[in-house]
C-alpha cells in the first residue's frame, strides 16, 4: 500500500471526525423556531365542540399555540388563561417538556369588537389567516369584558398602544407575558366536578320531590264517568287536577296540552294506532302516571316535523330528525313534565323529551325493538335536562340518548339488550350514577363530541364491547365497576380524573386514548384482565399522583418490599404479562430490563404510547366488590406470601 | 508475522515507526475474528435495545436514553477486550525484547498500538450506533396526520453528539486496557487485572463517589465536577448535560461538561503514560 496516501486518508478522516464532533456541540439543536401551525390542526383544549358550533361566524376567540420540547403535537389553547391554567398544573413540565415557542394572535390588526356575550370578533381575512406573534413580546388585556363560552378571557396584541386602546374600550388592565403567567385562573376542573356530585344528587332529589306534587292533584275527571274518551277527559279537566283512567284498554292516541296529571287506576293500557306517538305532551307541568302504553308507531328516526313550538337553533334539522319521531310518550317544549310508573312497549322510541327541561322520568319500563337497528331510544332528551331514574330499559338502539341536555341526571337505571346504554352528545355537566348496564352490543356509557364536566360514578357495566367511553374534558369517572368487556374504560377525555374504578375480567382494562397527557388516574383496581391497560398515540402517561398509584394484579409482590418500590408499566412487554404468565415476575426484574426502563421517564413526553405507574398500590381499593364478584383470590395484597 | 515490519525500522523517522506498528495492529485487528464477532454482538445488542425499549419508534433522544445504561456496561467490556492483550502479546512473543535492539521507543510502540486498536474499537462501537441512528430515522413513528406536529427538541444532531461522546468514552477505556496490558507479565495476570479494572470502572469509582459524598470527602458544591473522577460518571454526565437535559428542560445541573471532558482526557492520557512507562521499564 502507498503509505503516504494511506497517511493522508487517515489524517483527512481524523480531521473530518474532529470537525463533526465540534460542529455537533457548537450547533444549537433548538435554534430553529417552529413556524405557527393552522390552529384547526392543533391538539386543542378550552372549548367544547358544542360551544364551537354555536358561535357566530365573525367570532374569533383568543388563541395560543405552544410547541413543547418533548411533545410532538402542537397544543392549541382557547384563551391565554387556558394556557396559564395548564402550566400551573403539577407535572406539566414533566410530561410536555418546556415550551420551545408560544404564539398568540394580534387583535391589533383586525377590527376587534365584542359581541353581546363578550366574544371578540375579527374580520374574515383575520379568520382565514390570523396574525400570530411571539407570546413573550405581546401585550395583554386582563380582566376586560371579553369572554369565551368558558368564561373570562385575555386579549393579546403586538403593540402596547393597541392593548391600551382595547382596555379603554372594554375595561381591564394591560400586562406583559410575565404578568399574564401570574394571573389567577379559576376554571371548573375535574376536581370541581367531583366535589359537585353530592350537590347534583341533592338537586335531582329536589326535582323529583317537586314532580311528586303532580301526584297530589285532585281528581276532577274520571274517564268513563265524566268523559267518554280519555282525550275528552283531558280536554275538560281544569288545570292542576288529575284525569283518572280506570282499568281497561283505551285505543286512542292522546295529546296533553294542559297542566294536568293523567293517571291510571290499576294499570290501564293506552293503545296507539301503530302510527305516531301515543301520548304527546305540549304543555309545561303535565304528568303521566301508572299506565301501560303500546301501539306506538314505528318511525324510530327521520321525522321532518315536530309537534309543538319549533326552535331556531343551528341544529334544528338534526333535532327534528330525532325528536319528531314516534314514541310512547313525547314531550315538546314542556317544562317540568313528569312520567312515572309507566310501562311502554315500542318498536321505535320509549320517551322523547324535546326542549323540556326539569323533566322527571321515574320507574318507567321501556321494552324496545328487539331488532336494535330498527328501534331507537328508550329515553331521548334533547335540550331537556332533568332526572331519568330507577327505570328499566331493554332492547333498541340507545337506552338513554341525551343531546345538549346540560346537567342531566341518569341514575339507578337497569339497562340491557341495547346497542348503547347511556349516550351523551354535546351534553355537559351530566351525572350518570348507579346504573346497572349489561349485555349490550356496543358501549355501556358513551360520552362523545367533546363535552366538559361530566360525572360518571358508581355504575356497574358488564358484558358489553366497550364498558365506559369518556370523551371531552374535565370529567370525573369514579367508583365504577366494569367487567367482561373488550375494553373496560376508553379514556378519550383530557384534564379528567379517573379514580377508584374496578376493571376486572376485560380483554383490556383501560385504554388511554387522549393525546394530551393530562389525566389523573389513581386508586383504580385492575384485576384479571387479559391486559390491564393500553395506550394510543401520544407520550408516556404517568398514572401516579402524590405518591398514589393504582392496584394492578401481579404488578408487585413480596419481592418488592412493603411499601413496594417498583414502578409498573402496563404497556411493557414483560410487565403486561406479570399476572398471566409464569416466569414473567423473574424476567421483569432482570437488570437489563431495569437498565432499559430506568431512564425512560427522563424524557417522558418523547416516549410513545406507554403508561407507567410509579407507585403501584399494595392492596385493591375495592376488596368488598372483588369479594362480590368472586375475584378476591385474584387480588392478593403485595405482602401476601402465599401468592409469590 | 511481524518481523518484516520491524526490520525496516533502522534509519526511519518516528512517524514511520509509529505507522508501521499501526499498520501491523490494523492487520491484527482485521484478522482477529473475535473482534468482528464483538462488533456483530454490539450491532445486535444496540438494535435490540433500541427496538425493545421502544426508543427507535419514539425518536433520537428516547433511543439515547434507552441505550445509555447498557452502553455504560457494554462499551468498557468491549474496549477492554480490544486492548488488554495488545502489548502483552508482543511481550510474550519476545518482540518487546527485540525492540530494545532497534530504535523503536516505548511511546512510539504504544502510540502505534493504541491508534491501531482504536480504529478497530471505534469501528466496533460506532458502526452499530450508526445502524441505530438509521433505524430511528426509518422506524420513527409518524405522528397522527390529523394534527400539526413538530420534532420538539429531538434531533439527529443530539444523536451525533451521543456518538461523539461515546467514542471518547470508548477511547478512554481502551487506554486503560493498554495500561493493564503493559503492566501485566503473564496471560493469567492480565486477565485478572482486566477484571479488576472492569469492576473498578463499572462500579468501584461510582461507589467511591457515593461513599465520598456520604463521608464528606466530596463536597456537595463540587459534586458535579467530582463526577469527572469516574469515567463512567463523566460519560453519563456528558450525555445528560449535552443531550438529555437539552430536551427535557431545566433542573439542577447534572454535570459540568468541561470537568467531565477533562476527567476523561486525564484518564486516557494518564493510562497511555502508564503504558509507556511500563513498556519502557
Q: How confident is the model at residue A438 (pLDDT cuts 50, 70, 90)?
A: very high
Residue B167, all three cell numbers: 467514542
Strand partners, A250: A270
- Tell me which of A103, A602, A609 to substitute to probe the interface with B (most B C-beta atoms closer than 10 Å): A602
Q: Give the residue with greater pLDDT, B87 vs A169.
A: A169
Angle CA(B248)–CA(B254)–CA(B257) in degrees, nearest 5?
A: 105
CA distance A75 to A77: 7
In terms of DSSP bridges, do strands A173-175 and A139-142 run parallel, antiparallel, or are they unpaired?
A: antiparallel
For residue range A480-489, list pLDDT tens digits in order: 999 999 999 9
Count of positions (residues) in chain A: 644
For residue A198, the model assigns a pLDDT of: 96
Q: How many other CB atoms are there within 10 angstroms of residue A13's CB atom?
A: 11
Strand partners, A446: A423, A469
CA distance B239 to B243: 5
Q: What is the mean pLDDT of chain B?
A: 84
- Taking the Cβ of residue B80 and every Cβ of chain A, the question of whether any pair is shorter than 8 Å is answered with no
Strand partners, A512: A491, A535
For residue range A265-296, list pLDDT tens digits in order: 988 999 999 999 999 999 999 999 999 999 99
For B141, the closest chain A residue by CA position comes to A608
CA distance A604 to B207: 28
For residue range A414-436, list pLDDT tens digits in order: 999 999 999 999 999 999 999 99
CA distance A236 to A243: 9
Of A6, A29, A595, the CB nearest to B153: A29
A213-221 own/partner pairs: CB under 8 Å, 24+ apart: A214/A261, A214/A285, A214/A287, A214/A289, A214/A338, A215/A261, A215/A263, A215/A287, A215/A289, A217/A241, A217/A242, A217/A260, A217/A261, A217/A287, A218/A242, A219/A243, A219/A244
Q: Which residues on chain A are in Cβ contact (under 8 Å) with B15?
A: 7
CA distance A229 to A452: 47
- Taking the Cβ of residue B52 and every Cβ of chain A, the question of whether any pair is shorter than 8 Å is answered with yes
Q: Which positions 84-103 of A are in contact with B (Cβ < 8 Å)? A: 93, 97-98, 100
Q: How confident is the model at residue A588 (pLDDT cuts 50, 70, 90)?
A: confident
Over pLDDT 70: what percentage of chain B?
89
DSSP A426: S
For residue range B28-82, list pLDDT tens digits in order: 888 888 888 989 999 999 999 888 888 888 889 889 988 998 899 899 999 999 8
Whether omega for the bond prior to residue B188 falls within 30 degrees of 0, making it cis, is: no
**Is the complex ipTM higher than 0.85?**
no
Of B148, B155, B247, the CB nearest to A73: B148
Contact present, A551 and A617 (Cβ < 8 Å): yes
Q: Please give, rounded to a whole number of angstroms, the shortest distance from the CA of B53 to a CA of chain A.
A: 6
Sign for the CA dihedral angle at A315, A317, A319, A321 comes to negative
pTM for the structure as a whole: 0.83
Of A1, A29, A98, the CB nearest to B249: A98
Residue A636, all three cell numbers: 392478593
Span B193-207, average pLDDT: 87
Q: How confident is the model at residue B252 (pLDDT cuts 50, 70, 90)?
A: low
- Taking the Cβ of residue B96 and every Cβ of chain A, the question of whether any pair is shorter than 8 Å is answered with no
Please report the number of interchain residue pairs, chain A to chain B, with beta-carbon separation below 8 angstroms.
130
From the list A46, A83, A144, A167, the residue with the least C-alpha distance to A450 is: A46
Contact A515 B144 (CB under 8 A): yes
CA distance A4 to A59: 75
Span A369-390, average pLDDT: 95
Q: How many other CB atoms are there within 10 angstroms of residue B146's CB atom?
A: 12
Strand partners, A461: A437, A482
CA distances from A628 to A418, A435, A500, A618 (A): 25, 17, 16, 20
Q: How many other CB atoms are there within 10 angstroms of residue A498's CB atom?
A: 28
How many helices (H) and strands (E) are present in chain A, helices listed first? Answer: 13, 50
Q: Which residues on chain B are in Cβ contact (under 8 Å) with A67?
A: 150, 152
DSSP chain B: --HHHHHT-TT--HHHHHHHHHHHHHHHHHH-HHHHHHHHHHHHHHHHHHHHTSHHHH-HHHHHHHHHHHHHHHHHHHHHHHHTTHHHHHHHTTHHHHHHTTT--HHHHHHHHHHHHHHHHHHHHHHHHHHHHHHHHHHSPPPPTTS-B--TT--HHHHHHHHHHHHHHHHHHHHHHHHHHHH--SHHHHHHHHHHHHHIIIIIHHHHHHHHHHHTSS-GGGHHHHGGGSHHHHHHHHHIIIIIHHHH---S----HHHHHHHHHHHHHHHHHHHHHHHH-
- Tell me which of B46, B62, B121 to substitute to probe the interface with A (most A C-beta atoms closer than 10 Å): B62
CA distance B65 to B62: 5
SS3 (DSSP) at A595: helix
> How many C-alpha atoms does A575 have within 13 Å on its Cβ side?
25
For residue A587, the model assigns a pLDDT of: 85
For residue A586, the model assigns a pLDDT of: 83
Residue A411, all three cell numbers: 341514575
Contact B244 A603 (CB under 8 A): yes
- Taking the Cβ of residue A595 and every Cβ of chain B, the question of whether any pair is shorter than 8 Å is answered with yes
Contact B23 A600 (CB under 8 A): no
For residue range A515-555, list pLDDT tens digits in order: 888 899 999 999 999 999 999 888 888 899 888 999 999 88
Q: What is the mean pLDDT of chain A?
A: 91
Residue B258, all three cell numbers: 468541561
Angle CA(A159)–CA(A163)–CA(A166) in degrees, nearest 5?
A: 140
- Taking the Cβ of residue A402 and every Cβ of chain B, the question of whether any pair is shorter than 8 Å is answered with no
CA distance B134 to A630: 52
- Tell me which of B69, B125, B147 to substitute to probe the interface with A (most A C-beta atoms closer than 10 Å): B147
Span B125-130, average pLDDT: 94
Of A72, A93, A608, the CB nearest to B150: A72
- Taking the Cβ of residue B153 and every Cβ of chain A, the question of whether any pair is shorter than 8 Å is answered with yes
- Taking the Cβ of residue B113 and every Cβ of chain A, the question of whether any pair is shorter than 8 Å is answered with no
For residue B16, the model assigns a pLDDT of: 78
The CA-to-CA distance between both ends of chain A, in Å, stands at: 66
Of B19, B141, B152, the CB nearest to A68: B152
- Taking the Cβ of residue B70 and every Cβ of chain A, the question of whether any pair is shorter than 8 Å is answered with yes
For residue B3, the model assigns a pLDDT of: 39
Q: Give the residue with greater pLDDT, B108 vs A641.
A: B108
- Taking the Cβ of residue A600 and every Cβ of chain B, the question of whether any pair is shorter than 8 Å is answered with yes
Query: CATH class for domain A190-427?
Result: mainly beta
Task: Sheet with A43-45: list strands edge to edge.
Answer: A43-45, A75-78, A63-68, A99-105, A132-134
Contact B149 A595 (CB under 8 A): no
SS3 (DSSP) at A12: helix
Count Cβ atoms within 10 A of the Cβ of residue B199 and give its class: 0-12 exposed, 13-18 middle, 19 or more buried: exposed
CA distance A225 to A244: 10
- Which regions of chain A carry the CATH code 2.160.20.10? 190-427
Count Cβ atoms within 10 A of the Cβ of residue A614 and give its class: 0-12 exposed, 13-18 middle, 19 or more buried: middle
Span A132-147, average pLDDT: 94
Q: Please give, rounded to a whole number of angstroms, the shortest distance from the CA of A27 to a CA of chain B.
A: 8
- For residues A123, A125, A129 and A135, what is the CA-based torsion angle, rounded to 10 degrees? -30
Of B52, B65, B143, the CB nearest to A72: B143
Q: Which residues on chain A are in Cβ contact (under 8 Å) with B157?
A: 24, 27, 29
Q: Please give, rounded to a whole number of angstroms, the shortest distance from the CA of A149 to a CA of chain B.
A: 24
For residue range A609-624, list pLDDT tens digits in order: 889 998 999 899 999 9
Of B15, B152, B157, the CB nearest to A27: B157
- Taking the Cβ of residue B149 and every Cβ of chain A, the question of whether any pair is shorter than 8 Å is answered with yes
Contact present, A536 and A598 (Cβ < 8 Å): no
For B46, the closest chain A residue by CA position comes to A596
Contact A606 B61 (CB under 8 A): yes
For residue B5, the model assigns a pLDDT of: 44
CA distance B68 to A603: 13
For residue A329, the model assigns a pLDDT of: 97
Residue A436, all three cell numbers: 346497572
Contact A67 B152 (CB under 8 A): yes
Of B59, B70, B155, the CB nearest to A29: B155
In terms of DSSP bridges, do strands A409-411 and A431-433 run parallel, antiparallel, or are they unpaired?
A: parallel
Report whether pLDDT(B200) > 70.
yes
Buried b (16+ CB within 10 A) or exposed e, A335-370: bbbbbbbbbbbbbbbbbbbbbbbbbbbbbbbbbbbe
CA distance B264 to A507: 52
CA distances from A251 to A221, A268, A441 (A): 19, 11, 34
Of A72, A573, A602, the CB nearest to B152: A72
Q: With residue A224 as reference, give the H or E element that holds it.
A: none
Count of positions (residues) in chain B: 281
Residue A290, all three cell numbers: 301508572
Q: Which residues on chain B are in Cβ contact (under 8 Å) with A612?
A: none
Q: How many other CB atoms are there within 10 angstroms of residue B14's CB atom?
A: 13
Amino acid at each position: 500500500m502507498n503509505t503516504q496516501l494511506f497517511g493522508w486518508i487517515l489524517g483527512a478522516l481524523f480531521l473530518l471526525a474532529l470537525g463533526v464532533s465540534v460542529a455537533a456541540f457548537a450547533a444549537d439543536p433548538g435554534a430553529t423556531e417552529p413556524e405557527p401551525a393552522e390552529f384547526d390542526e392543533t391538539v386543542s383544549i378550552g372549548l367544547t365542540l358544542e360551544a364551537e358550533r354555536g358561535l357566530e361566524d365573525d367570532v374569533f376567540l383568543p388563541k395560543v399555540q405552544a410547541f413543547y420540547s418533548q411533545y410532538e403535537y402542537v397544543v392549541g389553547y382557547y384563551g391565554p388563561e387556558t394556557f396559564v391554567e395548564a402550566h400551573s398544573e403539577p407535572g406539566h413540565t414533566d410530561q410536555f417538556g418546556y415550551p420551545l415557542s408560544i404564539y398568540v394572535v394580534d387583535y391589533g390588526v383586525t377590527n376587534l369588537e365584542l359581541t353581546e356575550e363578550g366574544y371578540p370578533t375579527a374580520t374574515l381575512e383575520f379568520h382565514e389567516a390570523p396574525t400570530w406573534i411571539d407570546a413573550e413580546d405581546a401585550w395583554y388585556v386582563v380582566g376586560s369584558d371579553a369572554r369565551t363560552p368558558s368564561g373570562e378571557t385575555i386579549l393579546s396584541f403586538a403593540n402596547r398602544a393597541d392593548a391600551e386602546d382595547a382596555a379603554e374600550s372594554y375595561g381591564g388592565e394591560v400586562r406583559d407575558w410575565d404578568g399574564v403567567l401570574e394571573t389567577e385562573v379559576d376554571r371548573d376542573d375535574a376536581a370541581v366536578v367531583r366535589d359537585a356530585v353530592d350537590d347534583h344528587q341533592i338537586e335531582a332529589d329536589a326535582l323529583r320531590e317537586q314532580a311528586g306534587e303532580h301526584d297530589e292533584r285532585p281528581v276532577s275527571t274520571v274517564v268513563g264517568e265524566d268523559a267518554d274518551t280519555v282525550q275528552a277527559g283531558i280536554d275538560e279537566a281544569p288545570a292542576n287536577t288529575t284525569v283518572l283512567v280506570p282499568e281497561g284498554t283505551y285505543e286512542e292516541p292522546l295529546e296533553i296540552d294542559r297542566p294536568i296529571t293523567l293517571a291510571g287506576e290499576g294499570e290501564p293500557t293506552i293503545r296507539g294506532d301503530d302510527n305516531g306517538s301515543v301520548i304527546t305532551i305540549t304543555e309545561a307541568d303535565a304528568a303521566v302516571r301508572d299506565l301501560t302504553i303500546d301501539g306506538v308507531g314505528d318511525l324510530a328516526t327521520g321525522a321532518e316535523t315536530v309537534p309543538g313550538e319549533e326552535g331556531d337553533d343551528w341544529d334544528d334539522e338534526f333535532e327534528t330528525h330525532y325528536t319528531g319521531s314516534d314514541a310512547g310518550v313525547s314531550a315538546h317544549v314542556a317544562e317540568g313534565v313528569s312520567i312515572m310508573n309507566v310501562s311502554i312497549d315500542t318498536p321505535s322510541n320509549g320517551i322523547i323529551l324535546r326542549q323540556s327541561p326539569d323533566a322527571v322520568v321515574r320507574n318507567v319500563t321501556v321494552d324496545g325493538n328487539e331488532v336494535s337497528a330498527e328501534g331507537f331510544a328508550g329515553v331521548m332528551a334533547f335540550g331537556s335536562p332533568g332526572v331519568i331514574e330507577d327505570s328499566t330499559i331493554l332492547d333498541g338502539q340507545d337506552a338513554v340518548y341525551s343531546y345538549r341536555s346540560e346537567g342531566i341526571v341518569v341514575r339507578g337505571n337497569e339497562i340491557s339488550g341495547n346497542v348503547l346504554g347511556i349516550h351523551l352528545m354535546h351534553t355537559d355537566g351530566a351525572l350518570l350514577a348507579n346504573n346497572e348496564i349489561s349485555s349490550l352490543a356496543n358501549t355501556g356509557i358513551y360520552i362523545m363530541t367533546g363535552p366538559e364536566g361530566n360525572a360518571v360514578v358508581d355504575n356497574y357495566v358488564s358484558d358489553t364491547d366497550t364498558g365506559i367511553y369518556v370523551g371531552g374534558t374535565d370529567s370525573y369517572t369514579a367508583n365504577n365497576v366494569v367487567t367482561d368487556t373488550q375494553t373496560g374504560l376508553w379514556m378519550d377525555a383530557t384534564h379528567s380524573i379517573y379514580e377508584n374504578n374496578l376493571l376486572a375480567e376485560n380483554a383490556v382494562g383501560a385504554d388511554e386514548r387522549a393525546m394530551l397527557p393530562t389525566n389523573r388516574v389513581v386508586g383504580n383496581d385492575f384485576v384479571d384482565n387479559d391486559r390491564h391497560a393500553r395506550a394510543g398515540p401520544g407520550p408516556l402517561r404517568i398514572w401516579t399522583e402524590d405518591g398514589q398509584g393504582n392496584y394492578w394484579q401481579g404488578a408487585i409482590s413480596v419481592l418488592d418490599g412493603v411499601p413496594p418500590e417498583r414502578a409498573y408499566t402496563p404497556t411493557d412487554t414483560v410487565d403486561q404479562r406479570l399476572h398471566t404468565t409464569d416466569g414473567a415476575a423473574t424476567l421483569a426484574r432482570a437488570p437489563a430490563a431495569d437498565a432499559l426502563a430506568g431512564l425512560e421517564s427522563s424524557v417522558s413526553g418523547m416516549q410513545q404510547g406507554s403508561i407507567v405507574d410509579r407507585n403501584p398500590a399494595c392492596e385493591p381499593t375495592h376488596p368488598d366488590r372483588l369479594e362480590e364478584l368472586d375475584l378476591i383470590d385474584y387480588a392478593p395484597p403485595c405482602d401476601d406470601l402465599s401468592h409469590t | 508475522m511481524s518481523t518484516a515490519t520491524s526490520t525496516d525500522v533502522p534509519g526511519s523517522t518516528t512517524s514511520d515507526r509509529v505507522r508501521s506498528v499501526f499498520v501491523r495492529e490494523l492487520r491484527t485487528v482485521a484478522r482477529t475474528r473475535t473482534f468482528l464477532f464483538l462488533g456483530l454482538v454490539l450491532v445486535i445488542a444496540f438494535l435490540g435495545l433500541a427496538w425493545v425499549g421502544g426508543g427507535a419508534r419514539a425518536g433520537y433522544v428516547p433511543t439515547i436514553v434507552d441505550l445509555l445504561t447498557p452502553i455504560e456496561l457494554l462499551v468498557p467490556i468491549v474496549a477492554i477486550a480490544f486492548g488488554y492483550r495488545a502489548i502483552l502479546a508482543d511481550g510474550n512473543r519476545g518482540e518487546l525484547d527485540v525492540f530494545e535492539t532497534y530504535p523503536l521507543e516505548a511511546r512510539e510502540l504504544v502510540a502505534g498500538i493504541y491508534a491501531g486498536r482504536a480504529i478497530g474499537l471505534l469501528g466496533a462501537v460506532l458502526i452499530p450506533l450508526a445502524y441505530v441512528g438509521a433505524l430511528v430515522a426509518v422506524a420513527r413513528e409518524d405522528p397522527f396526520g390529523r394534527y400539526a406536529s413538530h420534532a420538539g427538541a429531538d434531533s439527529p444532531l443530539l444523536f451525533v453528539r451521543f456518538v461523539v461522546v461515546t467514542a471518547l468514552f470508548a477511547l478512554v477505556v481502551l487506554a486503560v486496557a493498554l495500561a493493564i496490558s503493559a503492566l501485566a507479565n503473564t496471560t493469567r495476570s492480565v486477565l485478572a487485572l482486566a477484571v479488576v479494572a472492569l469492576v473498578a470502572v463499572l462500579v468501584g469509582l461510582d461507589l467511591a463517589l457515593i461513599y465520598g459524598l456520604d463521608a464528606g470527602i466530596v463536597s456537595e458544591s463540587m459534586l458535579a465536577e467530582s463526577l469527572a473522577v469516574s469515567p463512567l460518571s463523566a460519560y453519563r454526565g456528558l450525555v445528560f448535560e449535552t443531550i438529555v437535559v437539552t430536551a427535557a428542560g431545566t433542573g439542577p445541573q447534572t454535570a459540568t461538561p468541561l470537568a467531565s471532558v477533562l476527567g476523561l482526557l486525564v484518564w486516557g492520557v494518564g493510562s497511555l503514560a502508564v503504558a509507556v512507562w511500563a513498556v519502557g521499564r
